Structure 1
Amino acid sequence: MDTATTNSVDRLQVLHNILSEATEEASSAMSIWTGGAITLSLDCVRELPLEQVTQEFDLGMELLTMVVLTIGGDVGGTFILTFDEENGRRLAASLMKQEVSTEIEWSELEESALKETGNILGCAYFNRIARLIGGEFVPSPPAFLQDYGVCVLQQALMEQVQEGSDVLICQTTFMQGREKLNWNILFVPHTHMRGLLRTSL
């Protein structure tokens, strides 16, 4: 293994350790929010060329339901919580203690339930990272979106692309008991945050 490859592996391991801690904190918050029903774990941290990202994370051109939080400024980033239609509806119904809706349009209460889920997870994630790098973040209010995942992800990655050839992205897996749920967190830190994360340990 050459020096460049070794440095890349070491750098990703540092980032993986930091983001694992953030994921653990988010998992605790999610467990409380859902009454212990759902937990999450960090799946992978990757540095990839933009053109490979959508292929590696298998977003395809499927319409997804998403909750997006952003942090502006140099030390910023984007937090994207994604669901397919079935899983998003199931979560909303569970939180509202109602039957799963079969209406085409999402109700305000359903959207509110998912936005609050994204807010709880995103704030737990950002708060842990802020403590690790000695900063303070004020995330945007959560936005409820129904769009193609590839489009939202590419928009979140543009800040990184402007400053480097590769982008950093991590993916998180959700579990309900032993069942893997088809929803994920995609966390995309801006370039300056990436640098602070790398030097924080």
Structure 2
Amino acid sequence: MSATTESMPNPIEELFRCATRETADRMTIWTAGSISLRLEGLTETELHEISDHLGPIDRMATMVLLEAEGEIGGTLVLLFDDDSLDAFLVAMTGEPVLPGERTPLQESALLETGNILASAFTGAISDATVLLVLPTPPILLTDYVASVLEQACMAQAINNEKLVLTRTRFERNGEALDWQLVFIPDGAMRDWIDSGPRLRDGAL
């Protein structure tokens, strides 16, 4: 059985909404207003039920992977749908996308997108919690989504029957994109969430 935001501590939901707003603002600037994003939910679920919340994960996909490190942290996974990704890369770089390959400039655009989103997301969390949270350099990969997500969940799964994760959806010019930004807290952040923490006054 899975649970949604109703069972999560309200300050935690608000923390991730704040982080998503900061991330959305940065994404809007980066893409000249063409792409926006919103928090779709904060979910508590068992490992084998992740696909119920994120959609099909037994597939290959282009992803940008980053770790949030510090006193609390986790893993950020930016998932792309390749068809809409090609249009994004053309708009960002002015270069055509050839089947099965990307230019160095296109790869750089993807990595910088991940870096911008992660910096905004972790910065908002750090500001609200007064805890050190910093993103690692982004990694671009094409892999099975299930494999990447399951590995990212291991730190939580060691001590918790259910996992906490967030889901963020993207839109381009008002139309939904099949992209997701998934944040999976690590063991330290999960312990922090379960402790019922208070956030900095005026942070949200």
TM-score, length of structure 1 as denominator length: 0.89
The letter of the residue matching 2:91 is: S
The letter of the residue matching 1:87 is: S
Query: How far is the alpha carbon of 1:74 from its aligned partner?
Result: 5.7
The letter of the residue matching 2:65 is: V
What residue in structure 2 maps to residue 54 of structure 1?
A: 51
Distance (whole Å) between structure 1 residues aligned to residue 167 and residue 128 of structure 2: 20
In the alignment, structure 1 segments of 5+ residues that lack a partner are: none
Task: Pick closer, same or farther for the CA change 1:73–1:22 going to 2, 3 Å.
Answer: closer
Answer yes or no: is the 8 Å Cα contact 1:132–1:200 preserved in 2. no
Distance (whole Å) between structure 2 residues aligned to residue 21 and residue 74 of structure 1: 19
Q: Hey, which of these two has a bigger chunk of helix by percent?
A: 1
Distance (whole Å) between structure 1 residues aligned to residue 41 and residue 137 of structure 2: 26
1:149 aligns with 2:145: yes
Distance (whole Å) between structure 1 residues aligned to residue 151 and residue 111 of structure 2: 20
Deviations 1:4-28 (A, max 9, x none): x9xx835343322110000000000
Distance (whole Å) between structure 2 residues aligned to residue 149 and residue 158 of structure 1: 15
SS at match of 1:138: strand
SS at match of 1:40: strand
Query: How far is the alpha carbon of 1:148 from its aligned partner?
Result: 1.1
The letter of the residue matching 2:176 is: K
Query: How far is the alpha carbon of 1:191 from its aligned partner?
Result: 2.8
Query: How far is the alpha carbon of 1:73 from its aligned partner?
Result: 5.6
What residue in structure 2 maps to residue 200 of structure 1?
A: 198
TM-score, length of structure 2 as denominator length: 0.88
Distance (whole Å) between structure 2 residues aligned to residue 135 and residue 70 of structure 1: 16
Alignment coverage as a number of residue pairs: 194
Runs of 4+ in 1 over 6 A off after TM superposition: none
Counterpart selection for 2:37 from 24, 35, 40: 40
What residue in structure 2 maps to residue 163 of structure 1?
A: 159
Task: Pick closer, same or farther for the CA change 1:71–1:60 going to 2, 3 Å.
Answer: closer
Alignment of 1:17-28 (within 5 A): 17-28=14-25
The letter of the residue matching 2:102 is: W
The letter of the residue matching 1:133 is: T
Deviations 1:30-51 (A, max 9, x none): 0000011111100011001111
Counterpart selection for 1:139 from 113, 135, 142: 135
In the alignment, structure 2 segments of 5+ residues that lack a partner are: 200-204
Counterpart selection for 2:105 from 106, 109, 115: 109
SS at match of 1:174: strand
Alignment of 1:186-197 (within 5 A): 186-197=182-193
Counterpart selection for 2:117 from 121, 124, 129: 121
Query: How far is the alpha carbon of 1:196 from its aligned partner?
Result: 3.1
The letter of the residue matching 1:181 is: L
What's the C-alpha RMSD, in Å, of the aligned pairs? 1.8
What residue in structure 2 maps to residue 88 of structure 1?
A: 85
